[in-house]
Amino acid sequence: NAGVTQTPKFQVLKTGQSMTLQCAQDMNHNSMYWYRQDPGMGLRLIYYSASEGTTDKGEVPNGYNVSRLNKREFSLRLESAAPSQTSVYFCASTDLGLSGNTIYFGEGSWLTVV
């Protein structure tokens, strides 16, 4: 009963370092998303992938890249981390036909850039 799994759960980076957040879902969903959540804000979309092999920018894509490795996995990469990227990151997935339009979320990844 895993659902959406994100790793790592916590990470501290120095400015300029790079890292990749991993996400995997076991619900056979086509669409996957990366969001960030900042204090006083709801979740904002960074990138999404409508299906395997496709990715597109969301509301706040600057400073990030993504890879849809296969249907299960969707990774988010920070090439040169900045303090403004300190946030909680959520991966999510959905499939319109099978999941009744519900988007399922991972447990979040807490990233601090110092």
Partner 1 sequence: AQTVTQSQPEMSVQEAETVTLSCTYDTSENNYYLFWYKQPPSRQMILVIRQEAYKQQNATENRFSVNFQKAAKSFSLKISDSQLGDTAMYFCAFRMNYGGSQGNLIFGKGTKLSVKP
Residues of this chain that bind partner 1 (CB under 8 A): 30-31, 33, 37, 40-45, 48, 50, 56, 58, 88, 90, 92, 94, 96, 100-105, 107-108, 110
CB of 5 to partner 1, least distance (A): 13
Please say whether the dihedral angle defined by the alpha carbons of residues 8, 113, 50 and 40, taken in this order, is positive or negative.
positive
d(CA 39, CA 12): 18
CB of 40 to partner 1, least distance (A): 6
Choice between 16 and 26, CB closer to partner 1: 26
Retrieve residue 73's tokens.
């996995």
Choice between 9 and 18, CB closer to partner 1: 9
Retrieve residue 68's tokens.
């849809």
